[in-house]
Chains A and B, each alone.
Chain A
Amino acid sequence: MADKVICVTSGKGGVGKSTITGNLATALAAKGYKVVAIDADIGLRNLDLILGLENRIVYDIVHVAEGVCPVEKALVKDKRTKNLYLLPAAQTKDKSAIKPEDLVSIVEKLRDKFDFIFIDSPAGIEEGFKTAVTPADTILVVANPEMASIRDADRVTGLCEAMGKPEPKLIVNRLDPRKVAKGDMLDAEDVVQILGLELLGIVPEDKNMVSYINRGEPAVLFEESIAGKALRNVGERLLGKEVPFLNLEYNEGFFEKLKKLFGGE
């Protein structure tokens, strides 16, 4: 498979890069593919929390880059999801601890052993971002439906193109259909219109997401989570399948209609 190494990036922080990386990796591993998730956000390690693996880290990516241990030894195996591995970031170092060449050589060592390699990019457009993007075959740009995030995603897309990478694909995250219906939030269509990228998925806002992250259980493992369902669909699309987008039209409830009728908010 050509699109084996997938980098998730956004430019802006806090839009859900790590959450999406963790969930996509889990979704594909749950389907039986052998997946490794690499946390390239050195110094601000988060991916281990999302996957619930924080208490099992012994070695990290900087140890591998420095030659302290082989890469296989640093991989953390997920207990719940078979076939899922994590290569954690170092928390005590910073972005300068690994160079793009280091990550490329790590990815090359893992390439033959795994079906998918996810790289969780740090926020920003500095060296950490460049390191994370360099080994990638496919780039996923995450954007929230708000102007600041769109502008940063746009900048990142331009940088990826300048680095000679193929055109990134877009994931619109944290879309609130209710706010869209009210006109308080941009529609996914608006985001696509500005960025001009292929839309890989729309992930709706899910109030339970925080608790999934706090528990260290990826949302894709739960049938009832709407965000989890959207992310499972993104996983399917990464496999090349055509999956229709979730219907995120907001339907007003009876009480809200009644409230509107009486002029209340």
Chain B
Amino acid sequence: MNFKLRGTNVIGIEILTDNKSFDIDTLKNFILEKRQLLRGSRFIISVEDRILTKEEILELKQFLENVEELTFCGFKTNIKENREICISLGIPCDLSEMELEKEKERAETEEIKFIKRTLRSGDKVTSTGDLVILGDVNPGAEVEAGGNVYVMGSLRGTVKAGIGKSEAEIRALYFEAPRLEICNQEKIFDRKESYINFRARVKSGNLKIEFSKKGR
């Protein structure tokens, strides 16, 4: 059993459930075990990455109503379906913040790579995480990164950033590339289109281009 208790600054206590060993009976036992701790304070149950059935929620609700001295305030989840069921049953349910998701996206194994040279045509550099290039990316060179890409020079080659992620950015001091790709979103540029202090990023699903000056 990997359930945990956590103090929150608004509600009181949050029970963090574990996706792998999640089971209604286990959860019940856990609550009974920690009854002394939970007594007198409000608490919520947080369920992440797991879809609950209506029966499960009802069972939990009945169980919690029968235990004395507990103030159950509702659920917290990152899955929309859970929330819809809860609301239809009249149980409060919060959607957990995006911040949590973002942390999960960034795996611990991700690397940050520094390239201290100019990437020439035919060169290909990849990184599971961020990529910093202290030099130019010339036409015909390819750059692929799971995270962000920073080019401390001119960016003229093809770049893919944020592969498999929902948020990432590409920055370059000078930009004159034909196309770029961030988080599977594509942007194509005209010939001779160029920017100084270029930044392209995807946040909450939108690709946004920023720059300090157009042209050379």
Which A residues are closer than 8 A to B by beta carbons?
Answer: 147, 150-152, 154-155, 157-159, 161, 193-196
Contacts and interface: CB of A to CB of B under 8 A. Distances in A.
Nearest to A147: B139
Contacts of B120: 154-155, 157-158, 161
A50 to B, nearest CB: 28
A225 B122 CA distance: 37
Interface residues of B, number: 11
A194 B136 CA distance: 8
Contacts of B82: none
Q: Which of B122, B136, B139, B156 has the most CB of A within 10 A?
A: B122
7 contacts: A151-B121, A154-B121, A154-B122, A155-B121, A155-B140, A194-B154, A194-B156
A159 B122 CA distance: 9
A152 B136 CA distance: 16
A154 B141 CA distance: 9
B197 interface: no
Given A194-B156, A196-B118, A151 B139 contact: yes
A194 B120 CA distance: 9
A187 to B, nearest CB: 12
Interface of B: 118, 120-123, 136, 138-140, 154, 156
Contacts of A154: 120-122, 138-140
A154 to B, nearest CB: 4
A150 B136 contact: no
Nearest to A194: B138
Nearest to A196: B118
Given A158-B123, A194-B156, A151 B140 contact: yes
A196 B154 CA distance: 11
A109 B118 CA distance: 36
A178 B122 CA distance: 32
Contacts of B123: 158
Contact of A158 (B122, B139, B154, B156): B122
A150 B139 contact: yes
Nearest to B119: A158
Contacts of A157: 120
B101 to A, nearest CB: 39
B213 to A, nearest CB: 17
A147 B138 CA distance: 11
Contacts of A158: 120-123
